[in-house]
Amino acid sequence: MPAIEAWYMATEVKDQTAENRMDPNQPVSPDELRDLGVLQWHILPKGEYPAKAVPWEPKGMQDPDLAAIRAARGYNYADIITCSEECLPDYHNKLKAFFEEHIHSDEEVRYILNGSGYFDVRDREDRWIRIALNAGDLIALPEGIYHRFTMDSKNFTQAMRLFKGVPVWTPINRPADQHLSRQRYQQRFQPLEEERKLRASIVRVLRGFFGQGWCLGSSGACGARLGRDAWLVTPSGVPKELLEPEDLFLVSRSGEQLKMPRKAAKVSDSLTVFSAVFERRSAVAAICHIHSVAAVLAADNGDEVLRIRDCEMIKGLGVPGDGVLALPIIANKATEPELVPELLRALERWETAPAVLVRDHGAYVFGSSLEKAKIGTECLGFILDLESRRRSVEVPRPLKRRRTGAPTVVLLDIEGTTTPISFVKDRLFPYAASAVDAWVKDAPPEVAAAFKKQCQEDKVPFNDAAPQEEIVRLTKEWIAKDRKVSALKDLQGKLWKSGYERQELKGEMFEDTPEAMTGWVASGRRVAIFSSGSREAQRLIFQHSDRGDLTGFISAYFDPKSAQASKQEPKAYEEIALSMGIHPSEGLFCTDVLAEAQAASKAGWRAVLLKRPGNAPLPAHHFREVTNLMDA
């Protein structure tokens, strides 16, 4: 049976009847549609169907496959309509109505008899998916899903509409989040997707820990909240490198096993510890349990607590760089459930402790999300390994660990350096251009003032009579021209902030970016950002990145306004060096733009040029080139 083709839509839709694919195309599989509740079949129409029949009765010409689907799903009503300029009265206004985003209080079922068209549905992140329907395609959209319909460029669709009971075609236009049908949809399908993603993430995390040597044999475990009253927990006895998402247990708050793996297994003994911590600390959403050599060695000191200071990596566990990381240490027991009373006493005494060490056993690390727990565990692994090495070679703590002559500050460009150019050009800029129309209605007066001031500098008129329309026009014009003016950059920062908060945007990072930042900070260097975008926009892209929240690695953000010069002027780098409290020769600037590297070099900074996929070719120069920040 041929599958219905579906794909994610481009942000900007100029012609609703066009395919409107992203570039490159991002297809959507039948399984992904099924996870959203969208069902599909393909049955080639047999016989001749009338152009219109309301209602329609088969009278001996119904296909047996269609009859079976109707019987199984209770579709006892059917009619046939034809959408075309010749057959549908008030055709163009009807198309506009069909394309209004809406839900229904029952399934919407269409069987395409002839012609073609598109259904668009929203995914869980509110992105549009376009579904192409052709003759023989039968689709069922669940009650409560946001969707819309449009013809394609052929402008002809003959379709059978199927319904349970008395048909009700009234659309409920968006916003409809409070409508009972929408709430039922979210209750039915949202948790399934969240559970699927969380299962996959737990497996990914534990496989990574196995690679670090922290979960050898079948040791180690992980637990993560799913909603308020249940958590996913790893099984006992399964090697972590062989762990699969379906191996995890779903356990209720009361301890009932809601979902068990198909394979014969029992839930991890860590469940008792996880449940106790989840009950004690409502902010904890995930716990990682590791068995590392460094954790055992670090806990073998006879103290009740291990204190770590003067180490940048404590930031990864939520401790300020100039603070003290306090890790309670408890005694090991014959079984994990026996650890609970002493562990809870330790958490009561050290209320903000991000982890607990267990002598001759390992560590439990807590996080407000699975990603935070993972980062905390990785940072703890580094810290404890460092502690054990210091002890083994008796390295005095005041000893400088940076190599002589190494830079003390690494200054990073964003576009083409930490982040693909395509994300900025193809995602951020178009998003701002499309979002400004709705956002500008509530824009504060200072936005218009900033745009007017820029127009005065440009010696062009600004229409005071229609400031909102002017802001929209100028925003789109300046984005198209890629202007680097502060009025635009500040507005883009506000638009992107809204997009990140609504989870419509997620900062895209090169794979080596977080690795490099981790290494620099661990070796005592500071990381700063210098980009033409506003400092708020810079912070957002790293806070909401696809590699997790990276802001803990970053000491400062600079834009041309705060640096008092453009990125292609040496003065900017002189000001940044002053702000960071270093001599320019102590700084390293990483960029993909030769003119910026030359400006930094004139100010006394070292500079490295990045050759990334999608970056513009570099002219002849004398700077060092790298393809990876790890080599900078």
Q: Which residues are catalytic?
A: 312
Look up tokens 């299962």; give the residue. Answer: 199
Count CB atoms within 10 A of the CB of residue 114: 16
Listed in sequence order, the residues at least 6 apart from 424 whose beta carbon sits closer than 8 Å to its beta carbon are 414, 415
Cα separation, 310 vs 329, whole angstroms = 20
85 annotated among ligand-binding-site residues: no
Contact 568, 388 (CB under 8 A): no
Contact 516, 556 (CB under 8 A): no
108 annotated among ligand-binding-site residues: yes
Q: How much is the CA Rg of the chain, to the nearest whole Å? A: 29
CA dihedral (362, 366, 352, 497) positive or negative:
positive
Count CB atoms within 10 A of the CB of residue 416: 23
Cα separation, 433 vs 477, whole angstroms = 9
Helices (H) and strands (E) in the chain, counts: 18, 27
104 annotated among ligand-binding-site residues: yes
Nearest to 224 by CA among 191, 258, 264, 195: 195
Q: What is the DSSP letter of 106?
A: S
Tokens read off for 215? 């979960």
Secondary structure of residue 251 in the 3-state scheme: strand
Amino acid at 332: N
Helices 370-393 and 180-212, interaxial angle, to 10°? 20
Listed in sequence order, the residues at least 6 apart from 484 whose beta carbon sits closer than 8 Å to its beta carbon are 532, 560, 566
Listed in sequence order, the residues at least 6 apart from 110 whose beta carbon sits closer than 8 Å to its beta carbon are 119, 133, 138, 139, 159, 160, 161, 162
Cα separation, 80 vs 51, whole angstroms = 7
Listed in sequence order, the residues at least 6 apart from 405 whose beta carbon sits closer than 8 Å to its beta carbon are none
Q: What is the DSSP string of 565-594?
A: S-TTSHHHHHHHHHHHTS-GGGEEEEES-H
Contact 587, 555 (CB under 8 A): no
Nearest to 375 by CA among 365, 386, 389, 387: 365
Contact 589, 573 (CB under 8 A): yes
155-183: string of b/e by CB count within 10 Å (b at 16+)? Answer: bbbbbbbbbeeeeeeebeebebeeeebbe
Residue 287: which H helix or E strand, with range? strand 286-290
Residues placed in the known binding site for Fe(2+) = 102, 104, 108, 147
Residues placed in the known binding site for Ni(2+) = 102, 104, 108, 147
Residues placed in the known binding site = 102, 104, 108, 147
